[in-house]
Amino acid sequence: MVAIRFIAVDGSAQTIDATVGISLMENAVANGVEAIEAICGGNAYCGTCRVHVEPEWRKITGPITEIEEPMIEASGDTDPGVRLSCQIEVTEALEGLVVHTPESQS
Amino acid sequence: MSSAQVQGCPVRHGRDDRKSARLADANLQPAKNARVVGSFAAAREILRSPKVRQAGASADQIDLSRPEEISFFFLDGDKHRKRRAAVAGLFAPKTIVTRHRAVMDRTMDAIVADLQGRGSAPLDELSWQMAVDVAAEIVGLTESDSNVNLANRVKAVLDSSVSRKPGFLNTLLFNAKMIPRVGKFWKHDLAPAIEARKRQPKDDVISYMVKENYSKKGMIMECLSYGGAGMMTTREFIVMAAWHLFEKPELRERFLTGGEDDQFAILEEILRLEPVASLLHRKAAEPVEGTQGASVQEGETVCVSIREANTDEAITGPCPYELDPDRAKRMKVVGPYLSFGDGPHRCPGAQVALHETRVFLDRLFRLPGIRLVSEPEIQWNPQIQGYELRGAVVACDPA
């Protein structure tokens, strides 16, 4: 398990014990992070599991992948750290990761 | 709903709220030699695997050597992803709210005016109007003589295409039926839309295809896939959801007072129990060995049973046949389970369908005097392996 912190727009934070080997989105949903909607279930088809990765973590989580681009573009979210959390696999290297959730997922 | 509190519900017992299950059980026909998979976890793993290929809707008879001339539905891998990605924004939640919602509201204004003027109307006629108007707008089929005629022409082509059988004589018969039907769709619907988009591009599927120089055949296939699926399936789901809400006053009250999130939770739970599509076929190009139970040999065809997967107690919790809108949140599962499929081929219009159903029912159930005069007759459509609801009549007070 690795600790991952989700910070909402209002500043409230929730730290979850995430399971290695499954996506950040699945971990968030399993731990009741309400700002992660993920209405397509993790297929990168809805863009409602967006997170904004803090700058110091972006090298580790990596850039937006090709599969994420269409939905991120459609969402109009231009945050430099934006990613679809369904496309981030939780690994040991993410221990202590901090992400912010957007004001709205639609 | 009271079912949420059923703690001691015995396995596979409890109330059965499904309306289409018995008919589906009696009529569903998995492809010959296909192994049926009913476990939710294994099914999802198979559908998400890059090692499987589309095997539904006579996919084995499709010539894949010219991908530009076939629907995205039959493609896999990179080619499929790129085609889907190119128009994915049209189906995004933000686009639905900022663009398609206006079409839904406009259509609903017309439906309400018509219903109040007539006093009563067939429900599937009203849901068909909503489904067709929205699908036509997204695809760009906006230059037809009327959307009713457009829908009938699309349906005629799709009815022919899904009943295709192998063999020389069958191919001749298939072509004899199909060619004139496609010709009518091209002449009255697609060609005028293409000409209009050439003059003035818009943000829709046809404008994208014009920009990318799709062939005539390629355009026809793509439009029929997006348009046909959006029209035919949403029409049925709206009626099914309305039927449940008419029948259950507490649920209807919750739908009207609960806010959008709760409305979606109700609709998704109905869809879990009453999926419009019931079977998804995949063929393994390579062996699939998953961690959640998926195991498919190379060359083997499997049939994912959406109905079984959606009622798999491992994922639904107890009493899987009861309509319980709090279930998904309690079980931390995405609401419609596998009703829209999963993986790369997940239904592109899933969110559009849920939104138009929500908008339709929210307006309908707020009409003074709204009532169900006659219940629908549930029929089986062997071509699409799904239910059809005909004969429901709704009535309301005059404006």
Nearest to A25 by CA among A14, A41, A10: A41
Residue B113 has, within 13 A of its CA and on its CB side, a CA count of 6
Of B81, B88, B342, the CB nearest to A41: B342
Residue ranges of the alpha helices (H) in chain B? Answer: 21-27, 40-48, 77-87, 93-95, 101-118, 123-139, 147-162, 168-185, 191-199, 205-211, 216-247, 249-257, 259-273, 306-310, 313-316, 327-331, 350-364
Interface of A with B in 9-28 (CB under 8 A): none
Nearest to A41 among B81, B85, B334 (CB): B334
Domain range spanning residue B243?
Answer: 2-395
Of A32, A40, A48, which is closest to B346 when you measure between CB atoms? A40
Cβ separation of A29 and B94 shorter than 8 Å? no
- Residue A17 domain-assigned (yes or no): yes
Q: What is d(CA B335, CA B340) in angstroms, rounded to the nearest whole number? A: 10
The pLDDT value recorded for residue B13 is 64
Work out the number of other CB atoms within 10 angstroms of the CB of residue B208: 20
Q: What residue in B sits closest to A73 (Cα-Cα)?
A: B89
Q: How far apart are CA B141 and CA B120, in angstroms?
A: 29
Residue A49: give the domain boundaries: 2-98
**Contact A41/B97, CB-based, under 8 Å?**
no
Question: Structure pTM?
Answer: 0.88
The string of pLDDT tens digits covering residues A36-81 is 988 888 888 889 999 999 999 999 999 999 889 989 998 999 999 9
Q: Is residue A19 part of a domain?
A: yes
Min distance A31 CA to chain B CA atoms (Å): 8
With H, G, I as helix, E, B as strand and everything else as coil, classify residue B25: helix
Neighbours of A41 (CB within 10 A): 26
pLDDT, position B362 = 98
The pLDDT score that the predictor gives to residue B225 is 83
- CATH code of residue A67: 3.10.20.30
Q: Which residues contact B91 (CB under 8 A, 6 or more apart)?
A: A45, B138, B348, B349, B350, B351, B352
Strand pairing report for A97-100 and A50-53: antiparallel
Among residues B157, B360, B385, the alpha carbon closest in space to that of B276 is found at B385
Q: Rounded to whole angstroms, how far apart are CA atoms B340 and B182?
A: 27
Total number of domains in chain B? 1
For residue B148, the model assigns a pLDDT of 84
Counting every residue written for chain B, the total comes to: 399
pLDDT by residue for chain B (399 residues), tens only, comes to 334 444 556 555 679 999 999 999 999 989 888 999 999 999 999 999 999 998 876 676 777 777 777 777 888 888 888 888 888 888 888 899 999 999 999 999 999 999 999 999 999 999 999 999 999 999 999 999 988 888 888 878 877 665 556 566 676 777 777 788 899 999 999 999 999 999 999 989 999 999 988 889 889 988 888 887 888 899 999 999 999 999 999 999 999 999 999 999 999 999 999 999 999 999 999 999 988 888 999 999 999 999 999 999 999 999 999 999 999 989 888 767 999 999 889 998 999 999 999 999 999 999 999 999 999 999 988 777 889 999 999 999 998
- Helix (H) or strand (E) holding B390, with range, is strand B386-390
- When divided into structural domains, chain A yields a total of 1
The 3-state DSSP class for residue B7 equals: coil
CATH number at residue B115: 1.10.630.10
pLDDT at B8: 53
User: For residue A48, is it within any domain?
Assistant: yes
